[in-house]
Chains A and B, each alone.
Chain A
Amino acid sequence: MTDSSRSRVFANVRQACRGAGEDTIAQELEALGTAPTADLPAADIHTAFLANVLKNQGSVDCVANRSGAVKALADYLYRHFRSHRLVAGNDPHLAAMPWREAGVLPRFGSVEPGEPVALSYALLGVAEIGGIVTLTGKANPAANNLLSEHHIVLVESTRLVRDMEAAWECIERESAKTGRSRGVNFIAGPSSTADIEGKLVYGAHGPRNWHVILMGDVPANALEEAHALAGR
């Protein structure tokens, strides 16, 4: 059935199109130029990223290195759960973290019912949207992004890009190396809904809390300035 439907749809589409050659089409598309992107709230990309994460109702931490990241994680877990447990994807960057230094007890794999915290290692952070990018796979089981109550993301400061187009360039470079991944997830905030009388509620289906830890060289006043820019 769909073979003949396919032919019919394509016949109708062709009739309504101008039948230009591939080269002409490619040239015309190129000539359309690029889209304007959003201005960043700060000249420094780290500050801009952190400010936009905060605007998206995420919470943030800045740490200098992996030891700092593990300590920040331990603080976060203790603050919210009086525990040191979390679930992390099978990502080599996460496996190599000095977990024992802060007594954090990670379990590597997918979130199971009753496990409230998941940790992801982001491929990228995108300053324009205050969001992060993960690729699906063993390193990032979808359940960890979507089923936990608290989703924590570790982003290296060297992995920040300005906008979504720059992010796609990186994603395409990754794809060239490892093949197209099944899913590319841009995450920019906790799960939310305004479907009841327009009132905003967090934790519609996915995480109620979204916490980003920016790791690496970040200007000393970036965090403070980001809070001031975001007004929170």
Chain B
Amino acid sequence: MKQTSHTFLDNAHTALQDRDKAARRDFMALFTPLIRNAAMDDFGHFEELRQHVKEVRQHTLDNLDHYLTRFEREALHNGNHVHFATDADQLNSIVLDICQQHSARRIAKGKSMVTEETGLNDYLKRAGLRVMETDLGEYIIQQAGETPSHIVGPALHKSAAEIRELFLAKHDLGERELAETSDMVGEARKVLREHFLKAEVGVIGANALIAENGYSMLVTNEGNGDLCANLPNVLIVCTTIDRVVPRARDATAMLRLLVRSATGQPQTCYTSFYSGPRREQDSDGPLETHFVLLDNRRTEILASDYREMLQCIRCGACLNHCPIYAATGGHAYGWVYPGPMGSILTPLLTSLEQSNALPNACTSCGRCAEVCPADIPLPDLLRDLRHDENRQKLSSSRWRLGMRLHAWLARHPGLYHACTGIGIAALHLLGQRKGSFTQLPMASGWTSERDFPAPQGKTFMHQYAALQRADKAREDKSAAVAKPPRRRARPGSGKASGERQEPGLRADWPLKPDPRRPGKTRPGTAGGKGTGKGKPGAHPGGPRGKKPRSRQSDDR
């Protein structure tokens, strides 16, 4: 797949012009969080389950050598062939080799983001094989010659009318209406059924690999993945090394989070576990089964400070809750994985040079981190990538100069407050008559799209300090009435020790250890989700070093 992440802004601009698609995205952005929230409320133990699964996933990644070895051993014992692929080309050529060994011409393929990542379809097609996507969404975009716009609903960007036209053009089935959605689903079912029955090789992904018994877990609603896994004579499971979980019960715990986060269901229609080829007493099933386990820079991520990203269970909830994704759609991100998870994975799996626009496509609203069932601190990782971008001098020199200036100012709070005070007062004076600015120097990116409201004259800190002073004066007054005057330091005011402190800042500002991310620190906001809203001092001296992480070295 040709990557266009570097033109994210242009892609987004183009996407915003299509009003129909934008309206559909707006609808999905309202609808999908509703069904996810209802499912989580119904379940009732979301946070407890999320923390449990997170701990299990962290434990698995910390001991991945052990669990991957165990999975391989069990999978071999179950009669599978197990292959390892270091990169996309290797995975593709392993799959092609297997197909050629069996003189296969037709491949029935279940939904697999990993094979999107490696571009398997094009690779097999170039070798003369006929590859048919069988998940309805994937089938639609394959017929349309497009790429997925969402990791769970790949064709949600297309209207029913577009799909109708597509089917009428692609399926040679004579005159017909296809007026209803169910008619289109029925037609795809008929066309694909034939392909299932003729395919010599089935290719599917896996939602989890179970180390203790060598089973892979496949989660679908359509049942297409199961048809791929059961009908052809050869089955190839393409997945990545980070999908391993220790036990079957870890896979089911993860499943509870996955389905509710992805589609708002309590359970998918088909959750299947496959261990290997047909047994002697079986009447059906593949005669030969293969696992192809892809690395493709995941071991680099494992060794880096972005390890938490490997805990992703590919539910798509962060996409559904992201205002940028809702506005631009998935194609704007220019590669396989869109939304917040894609803005982190794309730079890590390809390169930051090609995709440095993506970590900047973030409002730091923190919704993704709130809903992520894997509890990945997505905004923090995005901020760290922006820091990497800055360090690697990938952003414009003007931007970097501005950042340096801002960082310097932020380290001198007195001067910072003085400068912002002057700036705000000046803007207030200049803008008070009209109430807003239609143009501002160095902020054309803002004012070209919307007016900038004129400030009310005082900065937040000024107003807050004034409130505190008024508060204190009131307290002093009532204390003077109640008993003889005696100055007392207020808790956290720092005055008892004679320290000077900025008004309103907590005593533990800027840093306290973050229990959610051992070895890391985050701003000491009470009970905050650590959304990293660009608060000064969050990472003095820069974000976390690349490697090794302190937690890893502690544990060694």
Residues of A within 8 A of B (CB): 1-2, 5-6, 8-10, 12-20, 22, 25, 28-29, 32-39, 52, 55-56, 90, 109-110, 129-131, 136-138, 141-143, 145-147, 163-165, 168, 171-172, 175, 179-199, 201, 203-206
Contacts and interface: CB of A to CB of B under 8 A. Distances in A.
A169 B121 CA distance: 39
B274 A12 contact: no
Instruction: Classify the secondary structure of B's interface with A.
Output: helix
B49 interface: yes
Contacts of B552: 16, 18
Interface string B269-308: 1111111111101111100000001010001101100010
Interface residues of B, number: 103
A143 B230 contact: yes
Given A136-B282, A142-B284, A9 B295 contact: yes
B268 A188 contact: yes
When A and B form their complex, which 7 residue pairs have the shortest distance between CB atoms, in order from nearest? A35-B253, A12-B299, A206-B223, A142-B230, A195-B137, A16-B303, A204-B222
A184 B90 contact: no
B65 A131 contact: no
B273 A35 contact: no
Interface in B184-239: 184-186, 189, 192-193, 196, 213-215, 221-224, 226-227, 229-231
Interface stretch (B244-252, B322-330, B451-459, B490-498): B244-252
Contacts of A52: 266
Interface stretch (B124-132, B152-160, B339-347): B152-160
Please indicate which of the listed interface residues A9, A19, A194, A197 has the most CB atoms of chain B within 10 Å of its own CB: A197
Nearest to A89: B283
A191 B94 contact: no
A18 B556 contact: yes
Interface stretch (B77-85, B168-176, B369-377, B512-520): B77-85
Interface stretch (B11-19, B54-62, B348-356, B360-368): B54-62
Given A14-B65, A180-B214, 10 more contacts: A9-B86, A32-B56, A38-B42, A168-B248, A182-B274, A188-B271, A195-B135, A195-B153, A201-B182, A204-B224
A48 B552 CA distance: 45
Contacts of A195: 135-137, 140, 153-156
Interface string B57-100: 00100111110110000000010000111100010011000000
Interface in B447-486: none
Interface of B: 24, 28, 31, 42-45, 48-49, 52-53, 55-56, 59, 62-66, 68-69, 78, 83-86, 90, 93-94, 134-137, 140, 153-156, 158-160, 163, 181-182, 184-186, 189, 192-193, 196, 213-215, 221-224, 226-227, 229-231, 241, 246-250, 252-253, 255-256, 263, 266-279, 281-285, 293, 295, 299-300, 302-303, 307, 552, 555-556
Contacts of A12: 295, 299-300, 302-303
A110 B284 contact: yes
Nearest to B138: A195
Contacts of A145: 223, 226
B464 to A, nearest CB: 41
Contacts of B24: 197
B396 to A, nearest CB: 34
